[in-house]
Amino acid sequence: MPTDLLRPPPRAIAAAARSSLTDLWRPVATGAYRDIRRPRPQAAPKDLPRTIFDPTLPDNIANPHPAFERIREHPVVVNERLGVWMLGRYEDVHAAARNSDVLSSRDGVSLRGFGPSVVLIADPPDHTRLRHVAAPVFTKRSVNQLTSDIQQLAGECVAALRSGEAVDLVAALTIPMPINVIAAILGVPREHWPTFRAVSDRFAQLFAPRSLVEVTRVLGSSLQGYFQMRTFMDAEMRRRRADPADDLLTRLEVARATGELSDSEAFLYSLILLVAGNETTTNLLGMLLMHLARDPELFEELKADRTLVPRAVEETARWGSPVQWVTRVATAPYEVGGTVIPAGGKVVLFYASANRDPRKFSDPDRLDIHRDTTGHLAFGHGLHFCLGAHLARLETVTAVNHLLDEVDGLELAGPVRWGTTPSLQGPASLPVRIRRQ
């Protein structure tokens, strides 16, 4: 019997509380200690441009592009209050993402240090070991084998949309799609999917905090979800020991049993896939649907020629950058356009700014599905290039194709509410009226 996700037994909660020390609290304490010792940009030369732009504030999340334009006027801009060096030009962000031997991910990818042992937040050799465990599941070939499952899940969501009624496409389609897909890949029993989403949602904020106080607050509010998820995943992996299945939880259990992953790493792996794969895909799909609802010509063009759908997905990724920025820490002095960022300095890589840099993409604010999007950085670049990029693309293309198959038109039925998760970008609510024959 699978464990009850929402009501773990008290003994399991006690065990999860102990493991939270390794999984969460120790990485927070280490991150905070490193943050305190980090060089601050106050000492940077006086002629280096300063900014007060804070990418985590809701107004800036809703529209960061005017600020990005100003940041791109210089190779490097510093924000003294946040204690960071900011990069916004395509060439510099691209080079920084590639330069993972000097720009480390070990202290996390958000503004404050937080480095649990997960692939996103690891340097080699740990990164190589961690990535190796799940990489075979996310190759283009493996992901393509999921096509019929993904089609079925998309079909279920789209079939439920009624003609003429106002419906929030975020709640009806863009949220359930990715969570259901990753739950299926992990091997989570289907009856648990709705609660699985509710619990996993509590973790999305973990990678976003701006201050140590916020890190502690977010962790505190995530603890219940952590206990539930840890207990559930541990029990599911234990079940795989006796009864292996063709799923990712079995793969994680095998890696744990052979010592390739520690107990914590096996659990945290399932968690990072949830955090990295859900809201990001929700946002990409949501942004493309928003364009389709606003632009009937685009809708008709894609409906008539489905070979354009993958291009539209790629261009939406460039235009919208569901992951707007990440951070790195310089392990040695790092030079950008004549400015030297000191060792230990925290650097923000604005993928979203790079993707709208007119030096790389002409008329960059315009969504143009016919443009050449080669080189866009929506899925990152280099060592940490998105593990789930093929999956995210397949999910988005499949969902949009299903919608175009079934629906004759989309029309906005109210204001689009924008998400407020720092570093992510996309609609949190997309009310539309569906037209179908």
- 150 scored as a contact of ligand HEM (CB under 6 A): no
- 276 scored as a contact of ligand HEM (CB under 6 A): yes
133 in Cβ contact with 47 (< 8 Å): no
- 196 scored as a contact of ligand HEM (CB under 6 A): no
- 302 scored as a contact of ligand HEM (CB under 6 A): no
Return the number of the residue (105 or 231) whose C-beta is nearest ligand HEM. Answer: 105
- 313 scored as a contact of ligand HEM (CB under 6 A): no
- CA dihedral 377→383→386→387, nearest 10 degrees, is 160
Distance CA 174, CA 194 (A): 14
- 131 scored as a contact of ligand HEM (CB under 6 A): yes
- 326 scored as a contact of ligand HEM (CB under 6 A): yes
- 280 scored as a contact of ligand HEM (CB under 6 A): yes
Distance CA 291, CA 282 (A): 14
- Distances from the Cα of 100 to the Cα of 97, 111, 195, angstroms: 6, 18, 37
- 200 scored as a contact of ligand HEM (CB under 6 A): no
- 261 scored as a contact of ligand HEM (CB under 6 A): no
Q: To the nearest whole angstrom, how small is the minimum distance from the Cβ of residue 100 to ligand HEM?
A: 9
Q: To the nearest whole angstrom, how small is the minimum distance from the Cβ of residue 379 to ligand HEM?
A: 5
- Provide the 8-state DSSP code for 166: E
Distance CA 350, CA 368 (A): 21
Return the number of the residue (109 or 150) whose C-beta is nearest ligand HEM. Answer: 109
- 113 scored as a contact of ligand HEM (CB under 6 A): no
Return the number of the residue (138 or 227) whose C-beta is nearest ligand HEM. Answer: 138
Residue 203 dihedral angles phi and psi, to the nearest 5°: -95, -15
Residue 47: CB partners within 8 Å, gap ≥ 6?
Answer: none
Helices and strands (DSSP H and E) totals, the chain: 18, 12
- Binding ligand HEM by CB under 6 A: which of 150, 182, 249, 352? 182
Distance CA 236, CA 239 (A): 5
- 281 scored as a contact of ligand HEM (CB under 6 A): yes
Residue nearest ligand HEM by beta-carbon distance: 388
- 209 scored as a contact of ligand HEM (CB under 6 A): no
- Distances from the Cα of 432 to the Cα of 169, 184, 206, 236, 283, angstroms: 7, 28, 31, 39, 16
- 120 scored as a contact of ligand HEM (CB under 6 A): yes
Interacting stretch for ligand HEM, rule CB under 6 A, among 142-150, 159-167, 274-282, 408-416?
274-282
SS3 assignment, position 336? strand
Q: What share of the chain is helix, strand, coil (3-state, %, to 5)?
A: 55, 10, 35
409-412 β-sheet, strand order: 166-168, 431-435, 409-412
Q: How far does CA 423 lie from the centroid of its chain?
A: 9
User: Helical H runs in 258-385?
Assistant: 263-294, 296-304, 309-320, 351-354
- 129 scored as a contact of ligand HEM (CB under 6 A): no
Chain residues 336-395 in contact with ligand HEM, contact rule CB under 6 A? 351, 378-380, 384, 386-388, 391-392
Length reported for the chain: 437
User: Helical H runs in 63-187?
Assistant: 65-71, 90-98, 126-134, 140-144, 147-159, 169, 176-186
Q: Which residue has 């009937």 as its token pair?
A: 296
Return the number of the residue (7 or 190) whose C-beta is nearest ligand HEM. Answer: 190
Q: Which residue has 């820490």 as its token pair?
A: 329
Return the number of the residue (3 or 355) whose C-beta is nearest ligand HEM. Answer: 355
Q: To the nearest whole angstrom, how small is the minimum distance from the Cβ of residue 172 to ligand HEM?
A: 19
- 153 scored as a contact of ligand HEM (CB under 6 A): no
Q: To the nearest whole angstrom, how small is the minimum distance from the Cβ of residue 318 to ligand HEM?
A: 10
Return the number of the residue (38 or 376) whose C-beta is nearest ligand HEM. Answer: 376
- 119 scored as a contact of ligand HEM (CB under 6 A): yes
- Binding ligand HEM by CB under 6 A: which of 78, 215, 229, 272? 272
Q: To the nearest whole angstrom, how small is the minimum distance from the Cβ of residue 280 to ligand HEM?
A: 3
- 154 scored as a contact of ligand HEM (CB under 6 A): no
Distance CA 337, CA 136 (A): 38
- Binding ligand HEM by CB under 6 A: which of 277, 419, 427, 431? 277
Give the binding-site size for ligand HEM (rule: CB under 6 A): 27
Residue 159: CB partners within 8 Å, gap ≥ 6?
Answer: 406
Name the residues that contact ligand HEM, by CB under 6 A.
97, 105, 109, 119-120, 131, 182, 272-273, 276-277, 280-281, 284, 322-323, 326, 351, 378-380, 384, 386-388, 391-392
